[in-house]
Amino acid sequence: MKRRDFIIKSSLAGMALVAIPNIYSQDRIITKLQAGNPLRFPPELQPGESLIFNSAEVEVWPGTTTQILGLNNSYPGPTIRVQKGSDFSVLFENQYTEEATIHWHGLLVPELMDGQPKDAVQPGNNYTYSFPVFQRAGTYFYHSHAHHLTAKHVYMGYAGFFIVEDEEELQYGLPTGAYDIPLLIQDRHSVYQPQFNYSPSMMDRMLGYLGDVPLVNGTPEAFFDVQKTLYRFRIVNGSNARVYKLGFSDNSPFHIIATDGGLKDEVVPTSSVFLSPGERIEILFDFAPYNIGNSITLQSQTFSGIGNQGTLMELLRFDIAGDLSSGGTAPQELPPIDYYDINDISGTRTFTLSQGIMGTGMHRINGLTYDMNRIDEVIPFNKLEEWKFVNNTNNYHPMHVHGVLFQVYSRNGNTILAPNDKGWKDTVLVNPNETVQTLVKFIDYSGTYLLHCHNLEHEDDGMMLNIEIDNPTNIENEDPSPNNFELSQNYPNPFNPSTTINYKLTIAGFVTISIFNLLGRKIETIFTGHKSSGQHSIVYTNKSLASGTYIYELRMNDRALRKKMTLLK
């Protein structure tokens, strides 16, 4: 943390932005928590329930109403909870006067389910989002991603949790149920209270729309009654631009157990952690050492930030109210992660982040601003690449990639990673004047995806590129993970209408078998479930496909094998 503070300080010394002192002369004092409001939890989305986008009035500050833009008259939006291996489907109804999408942040979904600006749902229209959930259990979220409207929609309340659970996670004995608490952290402007006015100034568009009032799950001055026991907190930074340095008011240590893409491979103790917009982290915290009647507060601690970043904020007060036990434990071990080897890269891409003079398109990637009709990078399917993010600006840029979970390799050449960098990521904070090396491999879908800054003012200003993931036609018989399973050629082949796929597992595990077309689009999942080690087979019977070549995929954990088969009618 000291190193990062130093980097920020040194960049401040050399920065060219001279207007900052005036802009922040009206800094607002953060109000100290009083009695406060009990922490709220959004309702859970029920099976068959639609997600309806509209404006609504909700009570954020007691006794007042706040006009929101969001889903199902709820801020935050309904919490979605799904089991890994299931198919998720929801009808989205846009009943508002602006176009909108649902982007499933961190989820690996087909292009047309990704909720990109180019696929916006127009006012009065509906769209069914439907995709198989095959990725690791973890804390993901959703938000609008409409062209030039993302920042406004998210600020006005359009965001919610998407939690993926699986059986594997249960074996680690983590706290569950009432002791597994999702926390969505956002900041709002007190000057407009109780409204969520989205009216950024030119300087706000430059630096990000930074509020001075933190809301946790939409609760101002939030408190939460806890037991003297271990809790799991799933923390989402859903703010437009604010970076938080999370820590407790007494500097107590806590344990980091997960990053954006689910559980880490180790439990890491720390006393503070940075979390930038779009990032998630999961922590374990034990209230056992406190006495009933004590309070401790989750804060964003001060750091030397740009402009109004780095201000002390009291996020959530925990009042120790009882001594029930969650029964959860901090595990000694977490599931292993296969770390990519930088020696295996097939190429390097550099994304240079720049900031011009004020005006439209002042935030750029490789000199470009977003054009939804232009493809900026063509990325090979199933090839490991090194992606370098070079931040030539004085501001933070949390860089988010759709359609993939990646790994951080180094910061300014330093490969000893902070705990929130080590693990599966979909968003990585690139600090001022920093170069972050990442290792990226697209193994799930081909098609057009996005690479963008998750400072939502920057994103809406055009700090976003289209990346085209190439077709997986060249992946026949490629074997990214020969260790745990084998996939045989189907028989008969060509076939009509049925064929048998044999496969062998050397360890038991959760298996998904899917059919893709040559464009990499998943057609159907034909099996998903737990399988013992040994030889297995499944009969695939075609129902409606045209004659042609298809790909069948065997997926176990984070790895997949694919082979081609031919349907001849």
Residue placing its CB nearer to Cu ion in the complex, 276 or 542 = 276
Pick 164 or 306: Cβ nearer Cu ion? 306
Residue with tokens 């063509």: 378
452 binds Cu ion (CB under 5 A): no
Does position 458 interact with Cu ion (CB under 5 A)? The reply is yes
| In the complex, least distance from residue 239 CB atom to Cu ion, rounded to whole angstroms | 13
Q: 455, 466, 499, 512: which one contacts Cu ion (CB under 5 A)?
A: 455
Question: CB of 371: closest distance to Cu ion in angstroms?
Answer: 18
* Contacts of residue 11, Cβ cutoff 8 Å, sequence gap at least 6: 394, 432, 433
Please name the amino acid found at residue 530: H
The letter for the amino acid at 270 is T
- For 453, the token pair is 């800054």
**Choices 124-132, 265-273, 446-454, 479-487; region in contact with Cu ion by CB under 5 A:** 446-454
Comparison of 147 and 564: residue with beta carbon closer to Cu ion: 147
Q: What is the nearest approach in angstroms of Cu ion to the Cβ of residue 303? A: 18
152 binds Cu ion (CB under 5 A): no
Q: Considering the complex, state which of residue 458 and residue 555 has its C-beta at the smaller distance from Cu ion.
A: 458
CA distance 336 to 355: 39
Between 105 and 458, name the residue whose CB sits nearer to Cu ion. Answer: 458
User: Which segment (285-293, 300-308, 396-404, 491-499) binds Cu ion by CB under 5 A?
Assistant: 396-404
Decide: 401 and 451 in contact? Cβ < 8 Å.
yes
Q: How many CB atoms lie within 10 A of CB 280?
A: 29
Stretch that binds Cu ion, among 51-59, 225-233, 429-437, 451-459 (CB under 5 A): 451-459
Q: Which of 267, 200, 201 is nearest to 230 (CA)?
A: 267
3-state secondary structure of 426: coil
CB of 275 to Cu ion, least distance (A): 16
CA–CA dist 44, 54 (Å, integer):
18
The span from the CA of 568 to the CA of 499, in Å, is: 12
- Least separation in angstroms between residue 423's CB and Cu ion is 22
Residue type, 377: E
Closest CA to 563 of 487, 511, 499: 487
List 430's β-bridge partners, or say none.
Answer: 397
Minimum CB distance to Cu ion, residue 535 (Å) = 51
Region from 83-91, 278-286, 322-330, 394-402 binding Cu ion, contact rule CB under 5 A: 394-402
**In this complex, which beta carbon is closest to Cu ion, that of residue 169 or of residue 460?**
460
Q: Phi then psi for 367, rounded to 5 degrees?
A: 80, 0
397 touches Cu ion (CB under 5 A): yes
Choose which of 206, 268, 443, 453 interacts with Cu ion (CB under 5 A).
453
- Minimal distance, residue 207 CB to Cu ion, in Å: 10
Is residue 216 helix, strand or coil?
A: strand
**Of 455 and 499, which has the nearer Cβ to Cu ion?**
455
Q: Please choose, out of 174-182, 278-286, 456-464, 480-488, the segment that lies near Cu ion by the rule CB under 5 A.
A: 456-464
Sequence-separated (6 or more) residues with CB below 8 Å from residue 162: 79, 80, 82, 104, 105, 106, 107, 140, 141, 142
Phi/psi for 97 (5° steps) reads -90, 5
Q: Which is nearer to Cu ion, 66 or 455 (CB)?
A: 455
Q: Which among 86-94, 301-309, 408-416, 447-455 is the span making contact with Cu ion, rule CB under 5 A?
A: 447-455
Three-state DSSP at 468 gives strand
CB of 137 to Cu ion, least distance (A): 29
Q: How far is the CB of 1 from Cu ion (least distance, A)?
A: 21
Q: Does 427 bind Cu ion (CB under 5 A)?
A: no
How many chain residues interact with Cu ion (CB under 5 A)? 4
SS (H, E, C) 314-349: EEEEEEEEECCCCCCCCCCCCCCCCCCCHHHCCEEE
d(CA 412, CA 370): 27
Closest distance of CB 212 from Cu ion, Å:
20
Contact 239, 429 (CB under 8 A): no
Q: Which is nearer to Cu ion, 314 or 421 (CB)?
A: 421
Nearer to Cu ion, 151 or 226 (CB): 151
The residue ranges that bind Cu ion (CB under 5 A) are 397, 453, 455, 458
